Amino acid sequence: MNDDDATVRSRVWRNGRVVAEDFDFARISDYLEETDTLTWVDVCDPDHRLLQQLAGELVLEPLAVEDAIAHSERAKATRYASHTFITVYAVQVHSGADLSGPEGRLSVRKVSAFVFPRGLITVRSSPDFDIEEVVARWDDNPDLLKYGVGALVHGLLDTIVDGHFDAVQLLDDAMEELEDRLFDDQALNGEVQRATYQVRKDLVELRRVVLPMREVVNAVLRHRKDFNSPTELDPWYDDLYDHVLRASEWTESLRDMVTAIFETNLSLQDARLNNVMKKLTAWAAIIAVPTAVTGYFGQNIPYPGFAKEWGFALSVAAILIIGVGLYITFKRKNWI
């Protein structure tokens, strides 16, 4: 093993049983050439030198190596002469994060894979994607490993797609929470707007990694014969593709939902503004009554009741009767 021991992990199976782990880096090509073994090597956050060493050991396609270290590659599956290269994105859910916070609840991590006829090389851009979940899935289905590298690829993709489902479910719950807050008169409108914007931002990021998965799984299905995947794995891949379709359709429905939330929020703001304007208009009309009456009785000319006690009583009575009458009228019209 080289200086990057902490970032490299490896395992070899024979007939579904583990026969070697964390072997010397230089033995990767030897194990891949053995016909009765299944080899997996994981490289986490590699530098360019380590990938070049790996490329020299396995004669990797230079374009694939470049895509493995790039940060903005689109999810895809590409067939080369000696191997198939896959790039996908895992989504990590931060369930405790603030919905309206600047970081949101989702983070995306890139995972690349070089698929050989008898081996799988995974390259992770960050340790935040826990490869132990993938290993646990392989260990839970040891009978599948006898079908070759197709079982390893299925376990990797299935783990990533399940993470997509968790993210979609989280955003669905967040949108339901936003819908409840939309009609809560006590909720601050600014907080609702910030939360809605953050959910929309997370959804856009999620759609970028979920929607291309259909093409990735389709390409893997087309190229499975190249890495000797038997028909016994067909039901497993069919189930995986069904999950991918469901996740894609779910994200599309969430896009419609978040658009509806935006539009509903704007409509509610207009409705609340109209209610405020009606209330202001109603109270302005009521307040105008004593102003008009006192202004009339305050004229410096003789009028009925001028300088008389009954004139003062008449002005007070006019204010009360007209003011109360307007209040009752506006109350019945739900303006107040």
How do residues 214-240 score in pLDDT, each as one tens digit? Answer: 999 988 888 776 666 667 888 898 899
Each residue's pLDDT tens digit, 114-142 = 998 888 999 988 888 888 899 999 988 88
Give tens-digit pLDDT for 3-40. 444 478 889 998 878 888 888 877 888 888 888 889 99
Residues in a beta bridge with 106: 93
pLDDT of residue 48: 75
Long-range contacts of 264-268 (CB under 8 A, 24+ apart): 264/182, 265/182, 265/189, 265/192, 265/193, 265/196, 268/182, 268/183
Report CA 35 to chain centroid distance, whole Å. 42
- Give yes or no for a contact between 204 and 259, defined as CB atoms under 8 angstroms apart: no
At 192, list the tokens: 């609702």
The better pLDDT of the pair 96, 177 is held by 177
Out of 3.30.460.20, 3.40.50.12780, 1.10.357.10, 3.40.50.620, the CATH code matching 5-269 is 3.30.460.20
Neighbours of 203 (CB within 10 A): 23
1: confidence class by pLDDT, cuts 50, 70, 90: very low
Which is it for strands 119-124 and 38-44: parallel, antiparallel or unpaired? Answer: parallel
Residue 263 has a pLDDT of: 79
Boundaries of CATH 1.20.58 in the chain? 270-332
Residue span(s) of the chain under CATH 3.30.460.20 come to 5-269
Contacts of 193 (CB under 8 A, 6+ apart): 265
Into which CATH architecture does domain 270-332 fall?
A: Up-down Bundle (1.20)
- Report CA torsion sign: 165, 167, 171, 173: positive
